[in-house]
Chains A and B, each alone.
Chain A
């Protein structure tokens, strides 16, 4: 008789020896061994004789299935009837859940990839010659000159209405109301021009376009430079040095430094045009140039126009002085002095215009914007647009970091659901087990 081990691993009390002996006798009878308890032996035989017998057809069918490896589809109906339906549902839900999770992760990754792009620097250069702006400026300057020289216009009208006019360069009497015109370079013969204002305009337009004057070009530059995180203050300090070396000055500045090394600074710089290229090059070295816009406007015609009018005004002044020296009456003297004063104001105004135009040409306005990203975004923004091994390694590390971050976030977000799912699975298994056992009590 074989005795099995009956110690209780869960801590249950050991079986009573009499019970144990009867169980051992039962096991022996079931194995076909002879036992002393004839009643138990007979009972075992009788109960075993009641065992349902596997039908031959099913036995052969199952033997074929075992040999064939249970080909799918042949026993689907039986499997469904025996609870296979729930297994199919579980597999289906598992597939759907896995697909949804994979789709979500792929979507988040694609979102990060697509929204993280577009950091390539953008360069734009615009150049405009002496077009409509120049014409407008010329018109504006002409109007300014006409306004400043209103006396001359008035004088011209008065001269037209005068009964007679005399040559200023001649020896005759000089009428204070006579039209005074610039003297020609030939010594002033016939310098006094009597005519309408249209003649004056014609004379003026001839003097606006000297053929051999040097070009006057006004330039403006807009620059945006991205500096490293935390380096904005240092870069802003270098801007002043660069501008001073370029013979200019800082017209305006606004520096704002935030947290984590982020910030921005805007400068309005005036740089000597002759040293503009050197200044731009040095400013570009402060960081990565993300955009640069340079505009050029030819103001030569405006400058020449103002210069010509100043020359005319000087000639008028000399003519007035000559006329004054020859004036005899007090009325003539007073009138000429008044006109000389007006001429002085006109020449002063033209001097200011010429000085302003010279400054516009000699100094270039540079609008500079420095930006420093936060330390977190610095790695992404630090791209000079050229590929290198370091860039590739950096991209790899960044992508791996991003993927790891996404996975961590996804795992963190999914953790409560996973815990709930595990709890639900445990509850489901307990309920299923209890339900199965309860099926015997129903």
Chain B
């Protein structure tokens, strides 16, 4: 087989999703985002595992023209989380099991920063669920405004407007 033909066939072949690399770079962020939505650690663990399994099963349906792998993975995780919330008929509280979640990082905030940490935690908890969702997508998932817009099914500018509104609310709650 000639090199030209091999190159042509390789170009025609859909790009392979590097799932192992995706898990290594996004595993912790997916858990942080899911836990922020569903509220408790046990459910977050199940949903995170299910989201990764679902993404793995559907990895061949990933279309790079419709978004990045990271955005695609967080869309799956968000849908799984919202399905669970619907099933439970309860709203998400961002960090109800905060002690368990934050234990590993609380000491690293700063010396005497425990009060500041509590303020921020309370401020996040006081946000509306949609704002908390946006904060989690921005701060934990690390998605751009365009990726958030794709995930939510809205335009990029609309997503930016909503993120800015949520950020303003968080700033006000922290002040």
Contact = CB atoms under 8 A, between A and B. Distances in A.
Interface of A: 4-10, 12-15, 19-20, 22-23, 26-27, 30, 39-40, 43-44, 46-55, 58-59, 61-63, 65-67, 69-70, 75, 77-79, 81-84, 86-87, 433, 435-442
Contacts of B174: 43, 46
A78 B50 contact: yes
Interface in B56-114: 56-57, 79-80, 82-87, 89-92, 95, 98, 101-106, 108-109
B5 to A, nearest CB: 30
B19 A66 contact: yes
A55 B49 CA distance: 12
A440 B83 CA distance: 11
Contacts of B23: 62-63, 66
Contact of A82 (B41, B46, B170): B46
A87 to B, nearest CB: 8
A58 B129 contact: no
Contacts of B167: 22, 26
The 6 closest A-B pairs by CB, nearest first: A82-B50, A52-B101, A436-B82, A83-B83, A8-B157, A52-B35
Interface string B11-40: 000000001100100011101100110000
Interface of B: 19-20, 23, 27-29, 31-32, 35-36, 41, 43-54, 56-57, 79-80, 82-87, 89-92, 95, 98, 101-106, 108-109, 116-117, 120-121, 124, 129-130, 133, 135, 138-140, 142, 144-146, 153-158, 160-161, 163-164, 167, 170-171, 174
Contacts of B153: 433
A51 B105 CA distance: 8
A7 B171 CA distance: 26
A87 B57 CA distance: 12
A82 B80 CA distance: 6
A55 to B, nearest CB: 7
Given A23-B163, A82-B80, A62 B49 contact: yes
B132 to A, nearest CB: 8
A23 B50 contact: no
B56 A13 contact: no
B82 A437 contact: yes
Nearest to B139: A47
A54 B32 contact: yes
A439 B124 contact: no
Contacts of B171: 39-40, 43
8 contacts: A50-B102, A52-B102, A63-B23, A66-B19, A69-B56, A437-B82, A439-B91, A442-B90
A341 to B, nearest CB: 114
A9 to B, nearest CB: 6
Contacts of A86: 83
A66 B54 CA distance: 11
B129 A70 contact: no
Nearest to B165: A19
A12 B155 contact: yes
A14 B31 CA distance: 33
A14 to B, nearest CB: 6
Contact of B50 (A9, A54, A83): A83
A330 B145 CA distance: 149
A52 B154 CA distance: 27
A47 B120 contact: yes
